[in-house]
């Protein structure tokens, strides 16, 4: 627990906020106390760096400036606006929450933490951030930055990977938070963690709160926070098929609800491992043709032929939080007279960019930029 008296707590608040007032980052979502704008920014900032988020945030807010706009936006619009940010469940949950706001709160964002927590996709951190920054509620917003700062300030050895540790850190922040400027207090700690007390710089020369930092004084800041190891990511080998018809159109598939990258369009992919330079044409095409007949073609027994153009166009690596995809791109010509099931389509190359695509698909298309001659 905090071993500081009230005078030290008040001095800490004063010094932290004085540093923040002088050094705070100029971020577009800080120009407004609109709870919707703060919500959008906080969801985007999950798993994504600030510099990356800024243009996405500005484009999103220009297209969907209110919670009502988000609630009624077509899914394709949402996915296009989110394209490249990844973790697409975030924006789908945002829309579901916006619809809750319209239905249950008269179109106005709730101003209490408990009510915000009732919205889909909003957890304790995001609820506290919105409540404190938009409505002045005294609610500490505990995220990775604040775990690190508090652990270093008090040399806490509680493992932050364990759910029970959250209570310890929240009890400390409940004492430290400034009741008069709770939103600024939360943002000040965020900036301190992002710019000064970073993971890679445990003993910064410009530490504005060194006098309060117990680990800094002892010289063991690099030992905090304590965090047990994550489960190792699993590797999966996939083949992505760049399929071109006689007109030069590309075959794309939209991932279904039970799959990763739901709702986004990709080259068809199968999980399989091969030595592509040594594989025979039959080994390369038979699994694909069987899959297409079963899943893609309206008339599964219609004529279907393929020709391998390049068995090894290139390889890309795509990392999720829990797995790694190693994807080999191969090129084939494909001819069929059958129409396609929903979720499959032939697309002219110049129109592909109009569809919601994942970062993985963009990586695969970059391979084609360098290997285009191989598939002509």
The DSSP letter of residue 261 is: T
**Closest by alpha carbon to 189, among 128, 234, 242, 247?**
128
* Residue 97 three-state SS: helix
CA atoms in the 13 A half-sphere facing the CB of 91: 27
**Closest by alpha carbon to 160, among 232, 213, 224, 233?**
224
Residue 269, H or E segment: strand 269-271
* H-only helix segments in the chain: 6-23, 35-45, 50-63, 67-72, 75-82, 89-104, 113-117, 124-135, 144-154, 163-176, 182-195, 214-218, 281-291, 359-371
The DSSP letter of residue 228 is: P
Catalytic residue among 42, 277, 278, 286: 42
Are β-strands 323-336 and 234-244 bridged in parallel, bridged antiparallel, or unpaired?
A: parallel
Q: Is 42 a catalytic residue?
A: yes
Burial 15-30 (b: 16+ CB within 10 A, else e): ebbebbeeebeeeebb
Q: What do you get for the CA distance between the two ends of the chain, in Å?
A: 68
Instruction: List the catalytic residues.
Output: 42
């Amino acid at each position: 627990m905090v071993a500081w008296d009230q005078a030290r707590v008040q001095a800490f608040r004063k010094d932290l906020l004085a540093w923040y007032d002088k050094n705070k980052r100029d971020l577009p979502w800080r120009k407004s106390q609109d709870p919707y704008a703060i919500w959008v920014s906080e969801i985007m900032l999950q798993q994504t760096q600030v510099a990356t988020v800024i243009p996405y945030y500005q484009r999103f807010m220009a297209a969907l400036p209110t919670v009502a706009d988000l609630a009624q936006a077509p899914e394709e619009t949402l996915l296009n606006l989110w394209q490249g940010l990844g973790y697409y469940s975030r924006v789908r949950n945002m829309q579901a929450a916006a619809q809750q706001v319209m239905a249950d709160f008269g179109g106005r964002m709730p101003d209490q933490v408990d009510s915000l927590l009732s919205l889909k996709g909003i957890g304790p951190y995001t609820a506290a951030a919105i409540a404190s920054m938009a409505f002045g509620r005294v609610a500490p917003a505990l995220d990775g930055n604040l775990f690190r700062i508090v652990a270093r300030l008090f040399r806490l050895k509680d493992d932050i990977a364990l759910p029970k540790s959250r209570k310890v850190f929240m009890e400390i922040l409940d004492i430290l938070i400034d009741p008069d400027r709770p939103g600024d207090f939360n943002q000040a700690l965020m900036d301190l963690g992002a710019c000064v007390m970073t993971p890679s710089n445990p003993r910064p020369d410009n530490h504005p709160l060194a006098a309060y930092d117990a680990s800094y004084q002892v010289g063991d800041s690099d030992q905090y926070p304590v965090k047990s190891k994550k489960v190792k990511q699993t590797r999966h080998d996939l083949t992505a098929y760049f399929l071109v018809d006689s007109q030069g159109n590309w075959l794309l598939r939209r991932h279904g609800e039970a799959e990763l990258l739901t709702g986004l369009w990709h080259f068809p992919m199968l999980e399989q491992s091969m030595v592509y330079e040594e594989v025979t044409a039959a080994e390369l095409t038979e699994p694909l043709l069987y899959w297409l007949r079963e899943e893609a073609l309206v008339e599964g027994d219609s004529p279907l032929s393929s020709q391998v153009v390049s068995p090894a166009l290139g390889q890309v690596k795509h990392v999720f939080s829990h797995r790694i995809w190693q994807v080999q791109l191969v090129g084939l010509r494909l001819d069929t007279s059958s129409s396609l099931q929903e979720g499959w389509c032939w697309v002219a190359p110049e129109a592909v960019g109009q569809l919601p695509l994942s970062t993985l698909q963009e990586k695969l298309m970059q391979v084609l930029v360098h290997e285009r001659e191989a598939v002509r």
